[in-house]
């Protein structure tokens, strides 16, 4: 028997994209509630590789994620203590780290790196603040909403091709270099990203030869007005003035509604702002500037009553107790 021929026959064929079972899971990624299903998915989904969202990543960030996935207790406890000190804004990271802890999944990183953010700061932007207290009038406020919407669309147009390109160029070599994964007939991969990435990223990956399975893509009706405007820009449409006015109203009302489920809160905000004309929205903004959150509180209650909106789990933020959430 020819040993050379025998070796060729036994050699595993070169790994290719057809053996990658690519799963894209999109979610709001705004509150800890949005990450509640991630732990179950990571532990019971049968995944071999996890691709987390990590914009502006550095080598140190990647190492930290790997330690968490390996179940490094000291690192995890130190990290949770640090997040607790920094407060609510970092609570979503705590939820993600808690879901990842001890899963022993292989981690692959595809998001933009810190040097790319330094070269193009827009890659690290998540919107221009639109707090009513920082603007001189409604038109000024409306222009800020316009710029924030355009920025959101540009961010997706820049960032999603980078993510897709990194997966395209790096994922198969990553698998080939792994002794166990390279021998598998199929490697199951989970990618989690914010829900707005669901409108571009799947198509970009399909164009690169992948066959992604998509879950969590929101319906347009469940988007905020600003998000819907971003999607319309992504497909080549002009920025709709009606959506822009509704975005302005959202910017004032958003921080004054609480609901544990993000999509339900969006629905409520759309119901409230959907009946507002430009004149009424301008009045809302001007009164917000003059009387701050107390007037918005009363305004929202009035419109909810007028529209017959009664949700048991919904409460309006008490401006006397929750002033730190009101954008002051």
> Are residues 163 and 109 in contact, defined by beta-carbon separation less than 8 angstroms?
no
pLDDT at 75: 92
Strands (E) in the chain, as ranges, are 20-27, 49-51, 106-107, 187-194, 213-215, 257-258, 315-316
The rounded distance, in Å, linking the Cα atoms of 138 and 47 is: 49
Tokens of 208: 């690169």
Q: What is the pLDDT of residue 285?
A: 85
Contact call for residues 146 and 239 (beta carbons, < 8 A): yes
Please report, to the nearest 10 degrees, the dihedral formed by the alpha carbons of residues 104, 105, 106, 109 taken in order.
-120
Helix/strand/coil for 150:
helix
Residue 259: what pLDDT?
Answer: 72
Tens-digit pLDDT string for the chain (328 aa): 344 444 444 445 577 899 999 999 998 776 777 788 899 999 999 999 999 999 899 999 999 999 999 999 999 998 888 877 665 456 667 888 899 999 999 999 999 999 999 999 888 876 555 555 578 888 988 998 899 899 999 999 999 999 999 999 999 999 999 999 999 999 999 999 999 999 999 999 999 999 999 999 998 888 888 889 999 999 899 888 899 998 888 888 876 777 766 667 777 887 887 777 888 888 888 888 777 677 777 888 888 888 887 766 676 765 555 433 333 3
State pTM to two decimals. 0.83
């Amino acid at each position: 028997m020819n040993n050379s021929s025998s070796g060729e026959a036994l050699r595993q064929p070169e790994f290719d994209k057809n053996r990658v079972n690519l799963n894209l899971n999109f979610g709001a990624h705004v509150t800890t509630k949005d990450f509640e299903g991630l732990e179950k998915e990571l532990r019971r989904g049968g995944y071999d590789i996890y691709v987390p969202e990590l914009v502006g990543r550095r080598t140190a960030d990647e190492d930290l994620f790997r330690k968490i996935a390996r179940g490094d207790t000291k690192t995890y406890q130190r990290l949770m203590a640090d997040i607790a000190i920094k407060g609510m804004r970092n609570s979503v990271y705590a939820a993600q780290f808690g879901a990842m802890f001890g899963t022993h999944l292989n981690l692959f990183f595809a998001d933009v790196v810190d040097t790319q953010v330094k070269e193009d700061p827009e890659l690290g932007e998540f919107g221009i603040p639109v707090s009513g207290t920082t603007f001189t009038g409604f038109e000024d406020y409306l222009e800020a909403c316009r710029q924030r919407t355009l920025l959101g669309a540009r961010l997706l147009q820049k960032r999603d091709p980078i993510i897709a390109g990194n997966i395209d160029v790096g994922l198969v070599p990553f698998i080939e270099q792994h002794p166990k994964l390279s021998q598998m007939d199929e490697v199951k991969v989970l990618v989690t990203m914010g829900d707005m990435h669901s409108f571009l990223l799947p198509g970009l990956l399909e164009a690169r030869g992948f066959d992604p399975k998509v879950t969590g893509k929101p319906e347009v009706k469940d988007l905020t007005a600003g998000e819907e405007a971003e999607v319309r820009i992504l497909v080549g449409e002009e920025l709709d003035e009606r959506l822009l006015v509704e975005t302005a109203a959202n910017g004032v009302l958003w921080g004054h509604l609480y609901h544990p489920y993000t999509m339900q809160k969006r629905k409520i905000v759309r119901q409230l702002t959907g009946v507002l004309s430009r004149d009424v929205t301008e009045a809302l903004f001007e009164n917000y500037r003059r009387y701050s959150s107390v007037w918005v509180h009363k305004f929202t209650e009035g419109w909810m009553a007028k529209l017959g909106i009664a949700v048991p789990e919904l409460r309006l933020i008490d401006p006397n107790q929750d002033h730190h959430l009101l954008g002051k």
